[in-house]
Amino acid sequence: MEATRETEQANETPKPETEETCTNTAEGVEEEEASNETSGEKDELTAAQEEIAQLKDKYLRSVAEFDNYRKRTLKEKAELILNGSEKAVQAILPIIDDMERAIANAEKTDDVNVLREGMQLIYQKTNKIMESLGVKKIETDNADFDTNFHEAVAMVPGMGDDKKGKVLDCVQTGYTLNDKVIRHAKVAVGQ
Listed as ranges, residues in the chain with pLDDT below 50 are 1, 22
Q: Is residue 32 part of a domain?
A: no
Q: Is the dihedral of CA 113, 115, 118, 120 positive or negative?
A: negative
49 and 69 belong to one structural domain = yes
Residue 33: the pLDDT is 55
Residue 9: the pLDDT is 53
Tens digits of residue pLDDT in 67-120: 999 999 999 999 888 887 888 889 899 999 999 988 888 888 888 888 888 899
Q: How far, in Å, are 139, 150, 187 from residue 172 at the CA level?
A: 11, 10, 7
The length of the chain, given as a count of residues: 191
The string of DSSP codes covering 153-176 is: EEEE-SS-GGGTTBEEEEEE--EE
Q: Is residue 144 part of a domain?
A: yes
The string of DSSP codes covering 138-155 is: PP-TTPBP-TTTEEEEEE
Q: What is the CATH number of the domain that holds 149?
A: 2.30.22.10
141 and 187 belong to one structural domain = yes
Residue 58: the pLDDT is 96
52 and 75 belong to one structural domain = yes
Give yes or no for a contact between 172 and 185, defined as CB atoms under 8 angstroms apart: yes
Q: Is residue 63 part of a domain?
A: yes
- pTM, full prediction: 0.56
Give yes or no for a contact between 167 and 150, defined as CB atoms under 8 angstroms apart: yes
Q: What is the extent of the structural domain holding 68?
A: 40-80
104 and 147 belong to one structural domain = no
Domain count, the chain: 3
Q: Is residue 14 part of a domain?
A: no
Q: Is residue 28 part of a domain?
A: no
Q: Is residue 118 part of a domain?
A: yes
69 and 103 belong to one structural domain = no
Q: Is residue 1 part of a domain?
A: no
Distance from C-alpha of 165 to C-alpha of 147, rounded to nearest angstrom: 11
Q: Is residue 34 part of a domain?
A: no
